[in-house]
Structure 1
Amino acid sequence: MSMERKIPIEERLNSNAWDVDERPHIRIKDPDQCRKCDSKPCLYLCPARCYTPGGNGAVLFSHEGCVECGTCRVVCPNDAIEWNYPRSGYGVQFRFG
C-alpha cells in the first residue's frame, strides 16, 4: 500500500526558484477598479498569494513570487490587471515535478 504524503502548495512553491526582474510583468492598471470590486477574486484564487488586501478596499500586489499562471487576469471582473510574460531569462523555474 502506497503511503504518499500530500504536499501543501506552500511547500511546493518553496521548492521553486525565481530570477526576479526589476520590471514587473504584471501590474494593476487602475487601483480604483480594485477598490470598487466587491468579490476581489484575485485575493482568493492566486495560487502564489501575490495579492493581499490593503487598507480602504485596495489590493496590494507583489510580483516576486508569481508562478506565471495567468489566473489573476482571467478572474478579474474589471479587466484591471495587465499581465505579460517576464522578459527572457527571468521568472519562475519549477523544480518540483
Structure 2
Amino acid sequence: MSKIEEKLFQDRYRVDAGRPHIRIKDAGLCRDCRNQQCTVCCPAGCYSREAGGQVALTTDGCLECGTCRIICDEHRNVEWEWPRGGFGILFKFG
C-alpha cells in the first residue's frame, strides 16, 4: 500500500443505507461524456467506468471532498449534499 492508502485505511465510513448523499442525475449523460473525469479524479475511487461507457458510482468510502461536483462541469450531472449527521467519513486524525 502507498502512504495515502495506509492513512485512508485508518478512517471509517458509516453508510446511511438507502440514503446516498451523492447521485448521478442522468446515467445517459455520463455515457455520452467525452472525458468521464470523475472516474480518474475522485480521490476515493467512488466512480468507475463500466462496459459500454457507463459510469458506476459507489458512495461507500466517499471522502466528502466535493471533487465530483466540481469536475462534472460539462454536464452538471452530479447531485451532491452532505451526509446526514453521524454518517459518512469518520476521519481518525481530525
Question: Could you state the TM-score of these two structures normalised by the residue count of structure 1?
Answer: 0.88
Report the secondary structure of 1:66's partner residue.
Answer: coil
Q: How large is the Cα RMSD of the aligned pairs?
A: 1.2
* Paired residue type of 2:67: T
What is the CA deviation profile of residues 4-57 of structure 1, one whole-angstrom value per residue up to 9, with x for unaligned ones? Answer: xxx532222111011110110000000001001011110111000000111111
Higher mean Cα deviation, 34-43 or 10-19? 10-19
Report the secondary structure of 1:44's partner residue.
Answer: helix
Please list every run of at least 4 consecutive aligned residues from structure 1 whose deviation after the TM superposition is greater than 2 angstroms: none
Q: Which runs of 5+ in 2 are unaligned?
A: none
Deviation at 1:94, TM superposition (A): 0.7
Matched ranges for 1:1-97 at <5 A: 8-22=3-17, 23-76=19-72, 77-96=74-93
Q: Which runs of 5+ in 1 are unaligned?
A: 1-6
Deviation at 1:96, TM superposition (A): 3.5
* Paired residue type of 2:48: T
Larger radius of gyration: 1
How many residues are aligned here? 91
Report the secondary structure of 1:18's partner residue.
Answer: strand
Question: Could you state the TM-score of these two structures normalised by the residue count of structure 2?
Answer: 0.91
